[in-house]
Amino acid sequence: MSINMVGPCIIKFGTAEPKAYYLPRILSGEDYWCQGYSEPEAGSDLASLSMKCVRDGTDFILNGSKIWTTHAHFANRMFCLVRTRFEGKPQTGISFLLFEMDMPGISVEPILSASGEHEVNQVFFENVRIPQTALLGDENKGWTVAKHLLELERGSGSSVGLEVKLDYLKCLCKSFVDIDPALGQRISKAEIELEAIKFTELRVLSDISVGASPGPAAPLLKIQRTEITQKLDELAMNIAGQLTAPKQPEALSPSWNAPAIGPPDMLVIFPSYLNNRAATIYGGSNEIQRNIMAKTVLGL
């Protein structure tokens, strides 16, 4: 969220001051950002967001709530979309803010996922006072910044983690003598798909390096990467079968010193499968990405 998402937006839309302050802190890892976009009543229809931001002297006062905020309990900063104007087209009343998470009036409540992990949160804002210098870009023009960030969220990044997952699958196969040949074919198919994704990523990186944006490749990559993530998880479940069944999150803790039930390297298969069910939802659901492609690529 720092290097791939908010950093490039600060470079593109920020004045000299935020650039000088935030960029070195992003590079050093001193700042850990979270993304305050979704709200309880605004997800796919993000432009309908309603978190209120009003001027008070040289400050803004924030009231409302953000939801599904990944790692808000670790982050020391949030980039956040707020409503600064309630009249007119929804997109024309949104502003993009950068602020610290320890401001009085901000509280973070955990949401546990199906795998039992704490990754996402609901964040509440009650009369939170932040300086107007928190604005990135112009007031009421935050939608432009927001869209640019989403394009980077969906289009940049890399599938290196997926290659690691694929290697793990191949190692996993070696632990079993009677693997169904059809599974081997599915792994090979996934490997070919992953190779194609890598070439698209390289094309996008080459475009970004000369100042262009990912464009229509962003929704395409978002769909392909997340669908293959789920395919690889399903394959791991198919290969390891009942060995993935014992639920033992405590065995993943560094302080756990008892033997795990079953082979320890299979402890993560089921939690990973459950966790990645969300991949086709977060970053904008895949249905919405298909809508974007239908509109921007096919002109439908």
Task: Give the residue numbers marked as catalytic.
Answer: 153
- The amino acid that residue 22 corresponds to is Y
DSSP structure class, residue 175: T
Here's the x/- map for ligand FAD, 95-134, by CB under 6 A: it reads as -------------------------x--------------
Here's the x/- map for ligand FAD, 38-57, by CB under 6 A: it reads as x----xx-------------
SS3 category, 200: helix
Alpha carbon distance, N-terminus to C-terminus of the chain: 31
- Residues 3 and 16: their CA atoms lie apart, in Å, by 18
Region near ligand FAD per CB under 6 A, out of 55-63, 152-160, 164-172, 276-284: 276-284
Closest separation between CB of residue 176 and ligand FAD, Å?
Answer: 31
Interacting residue with ligand FAD among 37, 79, 143, 273 (CB under 6 A): 37
Interacting residue with ligand FAD among 35, 122, 213, 272 (CB under 6 A): 35
Residues contacting residue 63 through CB under 8 Å, at least 6 positions apart: 51, 52, 125, 126, 127, 128
Give the start-end residues of each E strand in the chain: 33-36, 52-56, 59-67, 77-83, 94-100, 106-112, 118-131
Region near ligand FAD per CB under 6 A, out of 145-153, 178-186, 237-245, 277-285: 277-285
Residue numbers at the binding site for ligand FAD (CB under 6 A): 34-38, 43-44, 68-70, 120, 278, 281-282, 284-285, 287-288, 291
